[in-house]
Copies of this chain bind each other. A is one copy, B any other.
C-alpha cells in the first residue's frame, strides 16, 4: 500500500473573482485552518437581499478537523459571516485585540457570545495545532490591529497577507513586521496568498498620516461647524480627526449607530487617545458655538439611511446643516455607490455647506497595496508558489503577471476559482478538483431561501409590476359565479387607466365564456389562456409586460 505524499491543500470558499466574502481553507493532514469568514454586500441584481455569505457545506462535513478561524482584521468582508458560520459549526476564533472586540459586539447581537471560544492573540504569537503552527504577523491596513497569517507546515510556510498596505508612517506607530517576513522568506515560504485589490494602480498607496495633515489644514481654515464622514471601523482616521479637533480646542460628537458602537469598543480597548473632555454627546453640542464643534459620522458611501444622508435630506432629528458648515467626505465611493454619494454632495452644497471630497483632496487614502508595494512583498517573501486572492478575475490575472515579472516561475502560480482544491507539494502546485461552494443569500431571517426563482420574480415585479385576476367558478360547469376582478400594483396609475382595466376585464370575461362554451374545466388551461390573452393585449397597448397572476376559486 502506497502512502499518500504529504501535501498542503488550499481551498478558497470566497474572496475570489469578487470583492468580499473572504474565507480560505488551508488543510494539512489532520488540521484544517480557516483564514477569515466574511460577508459580501449584494449585487444590484440581488433584489431585496441583505448580505451574501459563503457556502460552507464542505466544512460542515469536516468539522472535527477544523482547529479554528484565524482572523486577519475586523472588517465585515472578513468577519461578517461569523454568526452564520458559528450557528452551523462551533469552533474557536483567533484574532488580535481590536478584531476580537468587534467580533464580540457582533456575536452578542446574535446571542452567540456565551457559546463561542474567543482567543485574543498578539502579533508574533504562535498557536500550535496538531500538525501545523499558526503565526500572526503585524501589517498595516485601514483598520487597526491587522495581521498577516503564516501557517508553518512540515512542507514549508503558507503565508496569507490578509488585506494590507505598506505604511511607513502609520498612526499607531506599528509598522509592518518586515523583519519577520524577510526571515520567513530567507527560510523559504512554500506559498503566498496576497491581496490583489489595488493591483491595477501603479506606485504606492499614500500613508494614513497624509490625511491627518489635510484635516489639520481644513480644521484651521473652517469658519463654522465641521462634519467628517468616514468608515466607522477606521479607528486611525477617527484618531486623526480627534487630534485635529484637539489642536484647535474643538469638541467632538459622534452620530450614526455603527460609529457609536465601534468607537465604544475602541475606547474600551484603549485604541483611541484623547483628553477626557473632548468627547461630548450630540445633545451637548447645542451648548457650544458652531466653530467649536466637530461631528464624526457614518454615511461616507451615501447610504440612504445613514446619518449623513439624513442630514443632507433634512431628515436628521438632531443635526441641521447650515450655511458655514464644512462637510468632509473622508472616503472614496465604492464602485456602485457613486450616484448615492453625488446626491448627498449636491444636497449639502444646496444647503450652503462647504463640501470637501474627491481623490485629489488628500482627505482619504486606500488601505490596500498598489503595484510597488506588491512588488516589495514579492521581493521580501520570495514565495516558491503564489496564489493571488481578494480581487475580481482581472485583478488576480494582473497580480499573477506581476509576480511572474518579478521572477516567479510560469508554472508556480494558479489563478483560483471559488471551491477549487489547490494541492501543493514541495515541487508542484496544481488544481485537483473542487468542493461544493457558492454564495448563500441572506434576506431578513432567511438564510438561503431566496434563490434564482424568487430573484427572477422580484426583478420582473420591479420592472412592470403585477396584475392579479381573480374569479370564482362553479366546480362542475366552470361558469362564472363571481368576478372576474383585476387588481394591479406597480403597473399603471389606476385612476388614469380605467379604460385599460375595463378592457382587460372584458378580455378575461371573453376567455371565460369561451371556455365554458367549449366545456373546458381544467383550471390550469383556463389560467394559461387568461395569461396569454392579457399579456398580448397589455403589451400591444402599453409595451409593458407585467407579471400576470390568474387565481381561480371554485365552489
- Taking Cβ atoms with an 8 Å cutoff, the residues of A that contact B are 17, 43-44, 47-48, 200, 202, 335-336, 338-339, 342, 345-346, 349-350, 355, 358, 360, 392-394, 397, 443-446, 449-451, 453-455, 457-466, 468, 470-472, 481-483, 485, 487, 489-493, 496-497, 541-544, 547, 549, 551, 553-555
Tell me, rounded to whole Å, the shortest Cβ–Cβ distance linking A250 to chain B: 26
* 9 sampled A-B residue pairs with Cβ under 8 A: A44-B44, A48-B462, A349-B393, A451-B493, A461-B462, A462-B462, A466-B466, A487-B551, A489-B547
Tell me whether A444 and B392 are in contact in the complex, defined as CB-CB below 8 angstroms, given that A458-B465, A466-B461, A468-B549 are known contacts: no
B393 and A449 contact, CB distance less than 8 A? no
- A445 touching B43, Cβ below 8 Å: no
CB of A463 within 8 A of CB of B394, answer no
CB pair A549–B462 under 8 Å, yes or no, is no
State whether A472 touches B48 (Cβ < 8 A).
no
* A443 CA / B286 CA spacing, docked (Å): 48
Q: A462-B459, A482-B554, A544-B444 are in contact. Are A350 and B393 (CB under 8 A)?
A: yes
Contact at B458–A397, with CB atoms within 8 Å? no
A48 touches B470 (CB 8 A): no
A542 to chain B, nearest CB (A): 5
Do A443 and B553 have beta carbons less than 8 Å apart? no
Most B-side CB within 10 Å, residue of A453, A460, A462, A554: A462
What residues of chain B lie closer than 8 Å to A350, measured between beta carbons? 393
**Contact between B339 and A338, CB atoms less than 8 A apart:** no
Determine chain A's interface SS by DSSP, over half rule. Answer: mixed
What residues of B have a CB within 8 angstroms of the CB of A470 in the complex? 470, 551, 553
Bound complex: CA A468 to CA B438 (Å): 32
Interface centre among A446, A449, A461, A487 (most CB of B within 10 A): A461
A489 to B490, CA, bound (A): 14
Q: Of all chain B residues, which has the CB nearest A398? A: B349
Contacts of A483 in B (CB 8 A): 553
Whether A549 contacts B487 by the Cβ 8 Å rule is yes
Contact A449 B492 (CB under 8 A): yes
Q: Given A461-B490, A490-B454, A553 and B47 touching (CB < 8 A)?
A: no
B549 engages A457 (CB within 8 Å): no
Give Cα A47 to B460, complex, Å: 10
Partner of A551, one of B444, B468, B542, B543: B468
Establish whether residues A489 and B394, one from each chain, have CB atoms under 8 Å apart when the complex forms: no
The residue on B at minimum CB distance from A496 is B449
Identical copies of this chain, number? 2
Q: Which residues of B contact A346 (CB under 8 A)?
A: 17, 392-394
Complex CA–CA separation, A459 to B393 (angstroms):
32
Contacts of A450 in B (CB 8 A): 492-493
Contacts of A491 in B (CB 8 A): 454
Return chain B residues, CB-CB under 8 Å to A339.
Answer: 43-44, 335-336
* In the bound complex, CA of A413 to CA of B94 (Å): 61
Question: Which chain B residues lie closer than 8 Å to A543 at the CB level?
Answer: 444-446
Check B482–A345 contact: CB distance below 8 A.
Answer: no
- Smallest distance from the beta carbon of A332 to chain B beta carbons, Å? 12
- Asked if residues A472 and B542 are in contact (CB atoms below 8 Å), the reply is no
Please give, as numbers and ranges, the residues of chain B lying within 8 Å of A349 by CB-CB distance.
393-394, 397
Instruction: Say whether A454 contacts B492, CB under 8 Å.
Output: yes
Check if A449 sits within 8 Å of B555, measured CB to CB. no
Instruction: For the complex formed, measure the closest distance between the CB of A69 and the CB atoms of chain B, giving whole angstroms.
Output: 26
On chain B, the residues within 8 Å of A48 by CB distance are 462-465, 490, 544
Assess the A549–B446 pair: CB atoms within 8 A.
Answer: no
Q: How far is the CA of A482 from the CA of B335 in the complex (A)?
A: 52
The 5 closest A-B pairs by CB, nearest first: A444-B543, A462-B462, A461-B461, A457-B490, A458-B490
Which residues of B have CB within 8 Å of A17? 346
Q: Is the CB of A449 within 8 A of B493?
A: yes
Q: How far is the CA of A464 from the CA of B47 in the complex (A)?
A: 8
Minimum distance in angstroms from A383 CB to a CB of chain B: 23
How many Å from the CB of A524 to the closest CB on chain B?
14
- Nearest CB in chain B to that of A360: its residue: B202
Tell me if A542 and B445 are in contact (CB < 8 A).
yes
Which of B397, B445, B459 touches A541 (beta carbons < 8 Å)?
B445
Contact at A200–B544, with CB atoms within 8 Å? no
In the complex, chain B residues whose CB is within 8 Å of the CB of A487: 549, 551
Give A476 Cβ to nearest chain B Cβ, in Å. Answer: 14
Write out the residue numbers on chain B whose beta carbons fall within 8 Å of the beta carbon of A451.
493
Q: How far apart are the CA atoms of A445 and B497 in the complex, in Å?
A: 13
- Please state if B496 and A549 are interface contacts (CB–CB under 8 Å): no
Who on chain B is nearest to A544 by CB?
Answer: B444
In the complex the two chains form, what is the Cα distance from A449 to B460 in whole Å? 19
- Chain B residue with the shortest CB-CB distance to A200: B358
- Chain B CB within 10 Å — which of A457, A541, A554 has the most? A457
Residues of B within 8 A of A492 (CB): 446, 449-450, 454
List of B residues within 8 angstroms of A449 by Cβ: 492-493, 496-497
Q: In whole angstroms, what is the CA distance A339 to B490 when docked?
A: 27
- With A445-B541, A461-B461, A470-B470 already in contact, 19 other A-B pairs whose C-beta atoms are closer than 8 Å: A48-B544, A335-B338, A345-B394, A346-B392, A349-B393, A443-B464, A443-B542, A444-B543, A453-B493, A454-B465, A454-B492, A472-B481, A472-B482, A472-B553, A481-B555, A482-B554, A483-B553, A485-B551, A487-B551
